[in-house]
Amino acid sequence: MKVTVLMVVYNGEKYLVECVNSIINQTFSDFELLIIDDGSTYNSLGIIQDFKDRRVRVVRNKHDYIGSLNLGLKESRGEYIARMDVDDIMERYRLLVEGLKAKTGIRWMNQSFITNWGSMNLVNAILLLCEVALTEEDNTHFHLISGADFPAATNSEIIATCSSEKDNYIEFFPMPTPRWKEGGMNRLLYFHPLDILNSRNSMDRERYIRFLQVQQTLGIKRKLLDITYFGGSTWWSLSRTCVEYLIRNKCENNIYASMQDTYIPDEMFFQTLLLNSPMKEFLRNDNRRYIVWSVKNGHIPANLDMEDYDAIQKSRCLFVRKTDKICSWKLINRIARQRKMLDSQSFGELN
C-alpha cells in the first residue's frame, strides 16, 4: 500500500460524507483512509461505518487531538502519509500527484492547465515546464518527452549528441504538407475550441464536430499571418540557447496568438516560431525519436514491441515512442539492459 490518508475526526457530521466521498473517488486507488475518531460525542462514528469501502479503516480514541494524531501515525500502513481535515474536500487528482512526487527523479510538478488532447494548453504546459527548467543553470539541453517515451541511447550517448548550442533536434516541414489531411491548413483556418471541449469525450466531440460544420457551412475562416507555417512532431531535444529564445520571443510576430484555438498546435507552434527566427540556422531536421506512424497494437503511432528492437538499434534515436506497460514491457527491459551494459563499459573506459 502506497499512501495512508490520515484524518482525525471530532464531531464532523456536517462535512464527513462529502469529505470521505472526495477521498474514496480519487483517481489513484492504492491507499487506505485511516480515520481516528477523536472521542466524538455525536454520530460521526455511525456515518463512517456506513461507508462500505475496504480502504476505509476506523480507530477510536479518547478526545485528545494530538494523541489521536500520533495514534494515526503509528497505525498507518502506507509508505507515505497524506493529512486531511474533515472540513476539506480532496481534489480528485491529489493522491496521484502526491504519489508521483514521492518518486525519485521528479523535480517539479504543476496543475495549472487542463490539457485536453489537441489543445493549446499543451503548448502552455510545455512553455511553463521550460521556464522552470531554465532556472537551473546547469541544464544545457532540454529533452521533451512524455510518459510514453523511453530512452534508447545511453546517458553518455545523449550527452555527446547534445554537446553544443548548435545541437538542436526537431522535426519540421513547411505547410501545407502532403503528410497531413488538407495539407494541415484546416488545423489553422478553423476555430478548434479544444481547451473547452474534450474531443475524447463523446458529448464534447459531438459539439466540436457541429461547431466545425457550422464554420464550414457559413464559410467562416481565420485570417492567417503572412508567414510560412511549419509542422512536425511535438517531441524535440533543444539547447539552452534555443529554449531561452522560445521563452523570450514566444509572442513574436503574433505567432503565439495565432495558435490559439488551432488543432494540435503543439505540432506547429515550436516549429513555426523557430523557423521564422534566427534560430533556424541551428536546427537539425531530425528529432532523434524512433516512432512508427502506422497502426500497431491498437494504436497510431504504434505501441512498440520486440519486433521493433533491431530497427531501434540500427537507428540513431535518443528516445523511442510510443510504449506501454502491456505490449512494450519486454522491449523496455531489453533496451534498459543494453543501456546499462553500454553505460558500464563507458564508465570503465573513463577509469
pLDDT at 350: 41
- Residue among 300, 247, 240, 294 at smallest CA distance from 269: 247
**At residue 270, does pLDDT exceed 90?**
yes
Q: What pLDDT is attached to residue 288?
A: 96
Largest CA distance in the chain: 74
pLDDT number for residue 246: 95
Q: Residue 347's pLDDT band (boundaries 50, 70, 90)?
A: very low
Write the pLDDT tens digit of every residue in 83-135: 888 888 888 777 776 666 666 567 777 767 888 999 999 999 999 999 999 99
Which of 52, 57, 46 lies closest to 13 in space, CA to CA? Answer: 46
Please state the rounded mean pLDDT for residues 165-186. 96
Q: For 35-40, what is the mean pLDDT?
A: 91
Q: What percent of the chain has pLDDT over 90?
A: 64
In the predicted model, what is the mean pLDDT of residues 226-241? 97
Average pLDDT of the residues in 213-220 = 96
Q: Give the separation between CA 12 and CA 42, rounded to whole angstroms.
A: 9
What confidence score (pLDDT) does residue 95 get?
77
pLDDT of residue 104: 59
Instruction: Please choose, from the candidates 74, 83, 67, the residue with its C-alpha nearest in 3D space to the C-alpha of residue 33.
Output: 83
For 104-113, 195-204, 281-290, which range has the lowest pLDDT when averaged over its residues? 104-113
Distance of alpha carbon 110 from alpha carbon 136, whole angstroms = 17
Instruction: Say if residue 265's pLDDT is above 60.
Output: yes
Q: When comparing pLDDT for 103 and 179, which is higher?
A: 179
Report pLDDT digits (tens) over 43-80.
888 888 888 888 999 999 999 988 899 999 999 998 88
**142 pairs with which residues across the strands?**
238
